[in-house]
Amino acid sequence: MNRANRHQAAFTLIELLAVITIMGIVAALVLSMNSAASTAKKRGMVDAEKHRLLAAIDTYQSKLGFYPPDNGNLATTNAASYDRTAAINPLLYELTGGILTNQGNTLVYELKFGTPGSTISTNSYFNVFARGGIANSDPTQPQSFFVPGPLPKDYTNYPNAANPNVLGLIVPVALTNGQVNFWHYDASSQYRHNPNSYDLWAEFAISGVHGHVTIVTNGNW
C-alpha cells in the first residue's frame, strides 16, 4: 500500500474523538441500567419482607388487642439516640412468642424459633429491651404470627448489646461495607410517624453511577 492509500485508510482525530465519545455514552448507559436494576432489586427485597412483617404485626394486634412492645427506652430517648434505640427491638421474640418457665431457679422464656430448647432469660430481655418480658407469652393464644417462621438468615445477634446472645430481625439488604442491618420499630415514642399505631422501617444503601452511596428509608408511612 502506497502512502496515499495509507492516508485514506487512517482515522482522523475528529473520528477518533467521536468514537471515544460514543463509547463513553454507551458505557454510562450500561452502568446506569445496572445501577437502576440493582436498586430495584434491593427495594423489592425490602418491600417483600416489610409487608410480611406488617402482616404479622397487624395479626398480632388483632389477636392480642395491642401492638408488639418496642424497646422500652424509646419512651425517654432523645433524637440523637433514637435511630439506634429503634433498631434494637424485641419484634423477633414478640412475633414468635415464648412460654415463661423456671429453669434452674432462673426465669426464662422457651422460644418458638431457632434450635429446639432455645431460651432467653428475663434478665437478658430486660437488659437489652427494657421490658419485663415477652408480652406474647400466654399459652392459650396462638404463639407465632411469623408465617412462615423465621429462618437463621432472618436474624442475628445485636452487636455491643447488653447481652450478646439476644437476637434481632435483619433487613435483607446490608448497609455500607456489608454492615449488619436491623429493622427499626417504634410503637411508643413521640418521634413516630404513625401516632396511633407503630412505625416499621428499614434503612439501606443504594449506589449511583459514580459510586456515590445513598442511604434510603423504606417504612410504613
For 172-211, give the secondary structure using H, E and C: CCCCHHHCCCECEEECCCCCCCCCCCCEEEEEEEEECCCC
pLDDT at 159: 86
- Could you tell me if 204 and 42 are in contact, meaning their C-beta atoms sit under 8 angstroms apart? yes
163-186 pLDDT per residue, tens = 888 999 999 998 877 788 999 999
Residue length of the chain: 221
Instruction: Tell me the three cell numbers of residue 202.
Output: 428499614
The 10s digit of each residue's pLDDT in 97-131 is 999 999 888 999 999 998 889 999 999 999 999 99
